[in-house]
A and B are shown apart, each in its own frame.
Chain A
Amino acid sequence: MIGRGWLRAVTADLVRHWRHFAAASVGIILGVAALTFFLALGLNVRELLLVQVFPADHLEVAPRSANIDLFALRLDLGRDVLDAAVLADLASIEGVDAVYPKMRLTVPALASGGDSIFGTGLQTEIVADGIDPKLVADDLGGVFREVDGDRTSTPCSRDEHCGDDSYCDRSRSFSGGMCRPFIPVLVSPYVVELYNGAFRRSYGLPKINPDSLMGLAFEMDFGASTFRPSALPTIRERMRLAGVSDKAIPLGVTLPLGEVRRLNMALDSAAAGERYHSAVIEVRSKQSAPGVVDAIQEMGLEVRDRGARRAALATAIIMVVLALVGGVLIAVAAAHIMHVFYLVVMVRRREIGLLRAVGARRGDIRNLLVAEAAVVGMVAGIIGLATAVAAGAAANAFASSRVPDFPFKPESFFAFSPWLMIAVLTLAVVACVIGALPPAFRAASGDPAEALAGR
């Protein structure tokens, strides 16, 4: 066949029977749109769960709890801390690249400040933990790092004398102040969302932009509490918000590990500075994660993110079910395509006979009809993809304006990746071609004389 003439013949046929093909395409458009929409949604949510909520290459390990409820109390008979020996065992597991211990602050703390942001000074009881700054180094760079909180090297009378990373502490001397570094802290995005969602409404406070919080300075009194009088001495430190990270404690603040260790040892005990409540395990690859999880469980420890994994699994199952709905729609559409092509072949019986009479082989007739089906599938598939993308944009717009903020709320709920588009488009074309094959074979069968006579 001559390429351009053949293309012209296909196009002319499609234009001539556009009503038939348009009717046949509706199913393909709906199927492709549904399949793409749900796959893009499911893949994005799954990615969100596995990469942000539960990074498959970062596992949080904690002592396995063994709770027994006794009247109003719950007794924890399990081990509640990880020590250096356990951390060493974790580091020796095949597939583990690094172990980052987390230490909880074992004394109460009060945070106060925020006048510049909230317009009024706030004070709140707060929990804190410490993490190795290396754990967030890739995300935050060097702004979250270990500092020596006891270091008092330079005399001063005002903050301006101490540079950007320090302030002038005049509380420890009557004669003058000494420069002390700010202690960097992290907060979880959940804290920001909680503030913007419910907390600010209860207290009539303004909604805040997380980016504006960077560099916010406030004070923390370690050892102090408003819950009940504390006999502990109090250590006051000035903190500076270094970033928002999903690796920070969900409700509270996260300090560099060394600071928490120092505070625990100073205010609690030497042993409190050696005990970790959990550890983040960095695995070499996502593929090695299952083996690492098994080894951790054999050590009597638990991996904390099973819930997220179950959520990811549930998401995957829902995604598959919804995608199946789209797939079934496409299959039904293929059957419809077959029906339409049978109709078209019947209408074009004499025309097909004429083509055979001027030299078309059976394969030429089949190819002509299959090419028409492929074009129908391609056009319908593109319209279906556009519909899915438009529906996704509408859903994102709705979620952005109507759905309250929640932790890890993404900017887009959909991942319309090129490979997904190509795969679905290919499926649409293949479905149409498969649907058109039986009528195409029927059309190519028989003698031209029969077709010319309309038999």
Chain B
Amino acid sequence: MGGLTYHLAASCILHPASCILHPRRATLRCVITLKNVTKRYPGADIDVLAGIDLTIEAHDFVSMVGRSGSGKTTLLNLIGGLDTTYDGAIEVDGEDLRSFADFELSELRNRMVGHVFQAYHLLDHLTCRENVSVAALFARGEMRREASWVRRRAEEVLATVGLYGAGRRRPSTLSGGERQRVALARALFHQPAILLCDEPTGNLDVETGREIVELLSDLHRNGDMTIIAATHDEMISAAGARVLRLRDGRFIDPEGGGE
């Protein structure tokens, strides 16, 4: 991870103002609690999540492992406030997400949660820098920043994921691994308290996947964010994550344990 360290340092040396101007993150502990969470999609015969109970402590690095259809993505969507139709309760620091109005959930996603999607979901008509800073379009209050700050911050985060100088490029000109890094940079833009990664290495070759895992591991070590990754990839567990195994909408280990 020497490369990553170098980039972090380089970005702060090159853009010291941006380091000072990092958005002030809410000082939540971000304990995530799921109580008997059940989810069934409309028209489906079975529950994709069946009575999930789980507690994720602040600054945990959690890897959810399971086959396709086991409910990993659904669980991430519920925790990240992307999906609000479920039974049971999901709490962040004791606050039930159900009590959040839609705009409050939007605020939560904007300030506190970073999503990395398996399909990247990059906007090809925008540059990498614009993709990374897209959340800034919807920032409000003290999170709202000048365009120059947003530009510097985007370049800084791109440097953090090893894409220094790629801000003007279009995602379509990047490799799969680079796109995943851009997606990760976008998730990190507002220094989220919770980083949710859905199959972050799913579309990547082994070597590139390894780099992404190292990047996540490094972010966990050097940052203070909670990282939850849904993956098939055993490399993530090898990187020191707590592993939760899902099968048919339930944790195999009833304690929600890890390794």
A contacts, CB < 8 Å to B: 1-2, 4-6, 8-9, 12-13, 15-16, 350-351, 353-364, 447-450, 452
Contacts and interface: CB of A to CB of B under 8 A. Distances in A.
A354 B106 contact: no
A447 B106 contact: no
Contacts of B134: 9, 354-355, 358
B186 A358 contact: yes
A8 B147 CA distance: 12
Given A359-B107, A359-B111, A1 B147 contact: no
A6 B123 contact: no
A357 B103 contact: no
Interface in B87-146: 102-103, 106-107, 109-111, 115, 117, 119, 121, 123, 125-126, 130, 133-139, 144-146
Interface stretch (B6-14, B76-84, B246-254): B76-84
B106 A350 contact: no
A361 B133 contact: no
A447 B82 contact: yes
B150 interface: yes
A362 B104 CA distance: 11
Looking at A6, A16, A354, A358, the one whose CB has the most chain B CB atoms below 10 A away is A358
Nearest to A362: B102
A309 B160 CA distance: 78
Interface residues of B, number: 34
Given A355-B138, A359-B107, A449 B125 contact: no
Nearest to A4: B147
A6 B84 contact: no
Given A2-B144, A8-B130, A361 B106 contact: yes
Nearest to B144: A2
B137 A452 contact: no
B85 interface: yes
A5 B133 contact: yes
B82 A361 contact: no
Nearest to B77: A449
A452 B109 CA distance: 15
A324 B83 CA distance: 47
Interface string B216-259: 00000000000000000000000000000000000000000000
A454 B146 CA distance: 33
A344 B135 CA distance: 22
A448 B102 CA distance: 11
A1 B121 contact: no
Contacts of A1: 137-138
Contact of B84 (A350, A362, A447): A447
Closest 6 CB pairs of A and B: A359-B110, A449-B83, A358-B135, A449-B82, A449-B77, A359-B138
27 contacts: A1-B138, A2-B136, A2-B144, A5-B133, A9-B126, A12-B130, A16-B125, A351-B121, A354-B117, A355-B138, A356-B109, A357-B80, A357-B117, A358-B109, A359-B106, A359-B138, A359-B139, A360-B138, A361-B102, A361-B106, A361-B138, A363-B103, A364-B138, A447-B84, A448-B109, A452-B82, A452-B121
A358 B115 CA distance: 8
Nearest to B135: A358
A354 B120 CA distance: 10
A359 B135 contact: yes
A364 B123 CA distance: 17
A9 B103 CA distance: 21
Contacts of A12: 125-126, 130
Given A359-B107, A359-B110, A15 B125 contact: yes
B136 to A, nearest CB: 6
Contact of B137 (A2, A353, A447, A450): A2
Looking at A1, A356, A357, the one whose CB has the most chain B CB atoms below 10 A away is A357
B106 A356 contact: yes
Nearest to B111: A359
A350 B121 contact: yes
A361 B136 contact: no
Contacts of A6: 137
B123 A354 contact: yes
B110 to A, nearest CB: 2
